[in-house]
Amino acid sequence: MSEGPDTEAALDGAGHISEDGVFVVGTDTGVGKTVVTAGLTGWLRERGTEAVAVKPCQTGYPPDDDAAFVESVCGTADAAVCLQRLSPPLAPEVAARESEDDATLSYEMILDGVIEAVETNETAVVEGIGGLRVPLADGREVIDLVADVGLPALVVARSGLGTLNHTGLTVQALRQRAVPVAGVVLNEYEGATTAERTNPAVIERMTDTPVWTVPPLDTESSASVIDGISGSLPASVLDPATEQ
C-alpha cells in the first residue's frame, strides 16, 4: 500500500489549503461538497494551478456524477477524475455489496488511487462521500481515508438550524485523527433566520477554526459556481502569503 504525502509538508494549518491540495469533507450527504469542490478547482485553475478534483467513489451513478459536474464547471475533461462508480445510491461499501454488476471495492485500491492522484497532479481537491462515518470498504470509513491521505480538510456544512452539532462533531473527529482543518464552509447561506445569522460566529468559537459562508449558487452556470466560491472565501485560502 502506498504512503501518503509527508504530513508536516502537506498540512500548513488552519485558514488555507496546502500546496498538495485539500480534502473536501461534509457533515452529511447533500450539503454541497460537490459545488465547493467544483468552485475551488475552477478557482485554482483560473489562477494558473493545474488542479484536479478527485472523487474516490461515486455511488448512485447515473444520474449522480460529481466528477462530471466538476468537468462541466471547469470546461475541460481533465479537471476531474473518479476512481470508482457504483449504481446503488448507498454508502460505497454497501453499494458494492448490493450492486448487480458484481462490483469489487477495496480500501487499498481507493487509498492508492487517491494518493497517486495527489502525487501526480500539482494540486488535488479530493471530495469525500457523504459524512465522515460513511462505510467505504473493508470495514474502513471515509474518515480513515481522509486521515491516511494526509491532506488538510475543508468542512462543508449546512447553514441553518441543526448544523452546530454536526459541524462540531465533524471537526472534533478530524482533529482526533490528527487532520488539520483548513476551515468550515456554511453552504447556501442566506441569513434569513436567527440560526443562520448566529451560526458562523458560534461555530468559529466552538471549533476555533475559520468559518466562511457561501450563498445559494446557480449550479447551471460555471461562472456562478467559481465566482461564488472565490468571492466567499479569502484569497489566502489558496495562498497563505496573500493578505485577507
> 482543518: which residue's cell?
181
**Euclidean distance between the first and final Cα of the chain, in Å?**
39
Distance from C-alpha of 160 to C-alpha of 143, rounded to nearest angstrom: 24
87 part of the active site: no
Does 141 belong to an annotated binding site?
no
Task: Give the active site residue among 55, 93, 217, 228.
Answer: 55
Characterize the bridge pairing of strands 153-158 and 123-127. unpaired
59 annotated binding-site participant: yes
Q: Is 65 annotated as a binding residue?
A: no
Beta bridge partners of 129: none
Residue 213, annotated as binding a ligand: no
Any known ligand binding at 130? yes
Which candidate, 241, 244, 239, 243, places its Cα nearest to that of 49? 239
Which residues lie below 8 Å from residue 127, measured CB to CB, with a gap of 6+? 24, 33, 34, 37, 53, 54, 55, 56, 66
Only one residue has cell 485558514, namely 15
DSSP annotation of 27 reads: S
31 annotated as a binding-site residue: yes
CA dist 149 to 11, 72, 117, Å? 11, 26, 11
Q: Is 127 annotated as a binding residue?
A: yes
Residue 128, annotated as binding a ligand: yes
Q: Is 162 annotated as a binding residue?
A: no
Instruction: Tell me if 29 is assigned to a ligand binding site.
Output: no
34 annotated binding-site participant: yes
What is the rounded distance in angstroms from the CA atom of residue 173 to the CA atom of residue 142?
Answer: 11
Residues in a beta bridge with 24: 127, 154
Binding residues: 30-35, 59, 66, 127-130, 187-188
Binding residues for substrate: 59
Give catalytic residues, as residue numbers: 55
Binding residues for Mg(2+): 34, 66, 127
Binding residues for ATP: 30-35, 66, 127-130, 187-188
